[in-house]
Amino acid sequence: MTKKALIANDRDNVATALADIKGGEMVYAHRGDQEIGILVKNPIIFGHKFALTGIKRGEEVIKYGEPIGIATEDIEQGDHVHVHNIASQRGRGDLKR
Amino acid sequence: MKIYGYKREDGRFGIRNHVIVLPTSVCSSETAVRISNLVDGTVALPHQHGCCQVGADYEQTVRTLIGLGKNPNVAAVLVVALGCEGIQPGVVVDGIKASGKPVESVVIQECGGTLKAIGKGAEVLRKMVQQASLAKREEFDIGDLMLGIECGGSDATSGIAGNPVVGFVSDMLIEAGGTAMLSETTELIGAEHILARRAVSEEVANKLLEIVDRTEQRSISMGVDIRGSQPTPGNIEGGISTIEEKSLGCIYKAGTAPINGILEYGEEPHSRGFFVMDTPGQDIESITGMLAGGCQIIIFTTGRGTPTGSPIAPVIKVTGNSSTYNKMIDNIDINAGKIIDGGVSLQECAKEIFDEMVEVCNGKLTKAELLKHNEFAIFRVGYTF
């Protein structure tokens, strides 16, 4: 695992930073046997995620090959993906009010 | 594989030889601590419960107290009661006695108050400790080991390194004929469908889905967003955005073994193999449940770093984050961050953790034990009346 980012599953539309990434940096990661390059727009700290593709508002964010939440705004390729632009769909008693 | 421990009256093996002072309620907890302070080689388990509890909540606390007393790491138990509390001392004493181990009790209201209870308790306790000190470790098969798997203070490395490597260790133990359990039902929300496929029967799969639904419904019925506490602020800072993401990373620590059954909080497994226990995501309460279920050892993965230990069992701390390992070097036993840094495979690191687990079983003290981290808490499922 010497790449700067990890794509946990081939289906994922986000990658996890394995090192601090500067805004505007080209980052390479393995998707299956292929190496893909993404221009990361924002600074991403170790462990945080960035988008591998555009994700429209309301679409699922996929990590580990599974949905981890829904985009709350349009996300562009290379954007930081975190609590500011995705939301959990589970345990949401607040939505029942 | 052979390891060394203390054979108990019920045939189980402990890897520690603790004499515990167990209060039946909050009202006797302070006295229990003072008794324990007087006698070397003992540990008290003070708690906030045991009175004015009803129904399933009462049953769960009773099951937990009895299960902790029966845990094979415990050589003998002194039960300390006030006398008038909801959980009556006889219930706890008789429950633990079924294991055949020495159990005595002191009732504060029956012996003249605090000072006399302390005197009587210390008198009983020193004899118990001297007797327990005669026990010698003997050989037993690692198949008799029950491992509790916990994660706490997760970050993005937990799902990449810390949890997958411990999942591998769990599989190794199951392969050797042992038992392991996953817990923390909150942290299965969003990943339960994957685990359910591993259940040995439809009944077990349905029970798994039921405990996750039950937990999720608690937050929904409260009208709150579970993100108020799950993921925690530290999880979020570490890169985890939602409970689903946290859960999907958490379940890697369950390895790949078939799931034999779903256990209530503090319930003992009916066979060997892999189990899931219904506990909350709060680490201390979760660990207590697994120890009451009979686990002799805990492996605890952490991304952010945590000091958590236990009064009756060794807790081995593993992090998948090398930076955290260095920042929390006082508390973390093994750095699995080298899987991410490169040069060490998951299998190699799993072997290192397995070997460490065997050494700890044989008596090596963990960092949590050396620093006397005796965190203890019991999960409640009802109100106090």
Question: Could you say which residues of chain B have pLDDT below 50?
Answer: none
Q: How far is CA B127 from the centre of its chain?
A: 28
Given a contact cutoff of 8 angstroms between Cβ atoms, the answer to whether A17 and A46 are in contact is yes
- Measured between beta carbons, the chain A residues lying within 8 angstroms of B244 are 66-69, 88-90
Q: CA nearest B23: which of B119, B111, B123, B118?
A: B118
Question: How confident is the model over B106-152, as pLDDT tens digits?
Answer: 999 999 999 999 999 999 999 999 999 999 999 999 999 999 999 99
Report d(CA A68, CA B78) in Å as an integer: 48
Question: How confident is the model over B164-221, as pLDDT tens digits?
Answer: 999 999 999 999 999 999 999 999 999 999 999 999 999 999 999 999 999 999 888 9
Q: Measured between CB atoms, which of B191, B216, B245 is closest to A91? A: B216
Q: Measured between CB atoms, which of A2, A47, A66 is closest to B156? A: A47
- Measured between beta carbons, the chain A residues lying within 8 angstroms of B249 are 64
Q: State the smallest CA–CA distance between residue A97 and chain B in angstroms.
A: 7
Cβ within 8 Å, pair B227-A89: no
Q: Measured between CB atoms, which of A2, A63, A93 is closest to B245? A: A63
Return the ∠ at Cα A43 (arms to A39 and A47), rounded to 5°. Answer: 95
**How many residues in chain B?**
385
Report d(CA B49, CA A15) in Å as an integer: 45
Q: State the smallest CA–CA distance between residue B236 and chain A in angstroms.
A: 8
Report d(CA B385, CA B374) in Å as an integer: 28
The CATH number of B18-132 is 3.40.50.2300
Given a contact cutoff of 8 angstroms between Cβ atoms, the answer to whether B241 and A83 are in contact is yes
Report d(CA B45, CA B53) in Å as an integer: 19
Cβ within 8 Å, pair A91-B219: yes
Tokens of B152: 């706490």
- Measured between beta carbons, the chain B residues lying within 8 angstroms of A64 are 159, 245, 248-249
Residue B112 burial by Cβ neighbours in a 10 Å radius (0-12, 13-18, 19+): exposed
A-facing residues of B in 226-245 (CB < 8 A) are 226-227, 230, 236, 238-239, 241-245
Question: Is the pTM here over 0.80, yes or no?
Answer: yes
Cβ within 8 Å, pair B226-A92: yes
Angle of helix B55-70 relative to helix B283-292, nearest 10 degrees, comes to 70
User: One-letter amino acid identity for B54?
Assistant: V
Chain A residue with CA closest to B194: the answer is A66
Q: How far apart are the first and last CA of chain A?
A: 45
Residue with tokens 């916990």: B150
- Measured between beta carbons, the chain B residues lying within 8 angstroms of A18 are 340
Tokens of B241: 């955005």
Given a contact cutoff of 8 angstroms between Cβ atoms, the answer to whether B278 and B54 are in contact is no
pLDDT band per the 50, 70, 90 thresholds, residue A2: low
Q: CA nearest B44: which of B33, B53, B52, B55?
A: B33
Q: State the smallest CA–CA distance between residue B196 and chain A in angstroms.
A: 15
Q: May I ask the CATH architecture of the domain A5-96? A: Roll (2.30)
Given a contact cutoff of 8 angstroms between Cβ atoms, the answer to whether B21 and B35 are in contact is yes
Q: How far is CA B360 from the centre of its chain?
A: 16
Helical segments of chain B, H only: 26-38, 55-70, 89-97, 108-111, 114-132, 156-157, 163-175, 192-196, 202-221, 233-237, 243-250, 283-292, 322-327, 338-341, 346-361, 367-370
Report d(CA A12, CA B131) in Å as an integer: 59
Among A1, A6, A49, which would you mutate to test the B interface (most chain B Cβ atoms within 10 Å of its Cβ)? Answer: A1
Chain A residue with CA closest to B303: the answer is A47
Tokens of A83: 């609590």
B-facing residues of A in 4-63 (CB < 8 A) are 6, 8, 16-18, 45-49, 61, 63
Among A4, A42, A82, A92, which would you mutate to test the B interface (most chain B Cβ atoms within 10 Å of its Cβ)? Answer: A92
Given a contact cutoff of 8 angstroms between Cβ atoms, the answer to whether B212 and B308 are in contact is no
A-facing residues of B in 285-314 (CB < 8 A) are 303
Among B155, B232, B241, B248, which would you mutate to test the A interface (most chain A Cβ atoms within 10 Å of its Cβ)? Answer: B241
Q: Is A66 on the interface with B (CB under 8 A)?
A: yes
A-facing residues of B in 155-174 (CB < 8 A) are 155-157, 159-160
Given a contact cutoff of 8 angstroms between Cβ atoms, the answer to whether B174 and B273 are in contact is yes
What's the confidence (pLDDT) of residue A1?
44
Given a contact cutoff of 8 angstroms between Cβ atoms, the answer to whether A48 and A86 are in contact is no
Q: State the smallest CA–CA distance between residue A1 and chain B in angstroms.
A: 5
Domain regions of chain A by residue span: 5-96
pLDDT band per the 50, 70, 90 thresholds, residue A91: confident
Report d(CA B269, CA B291) in Å as an integer: 12
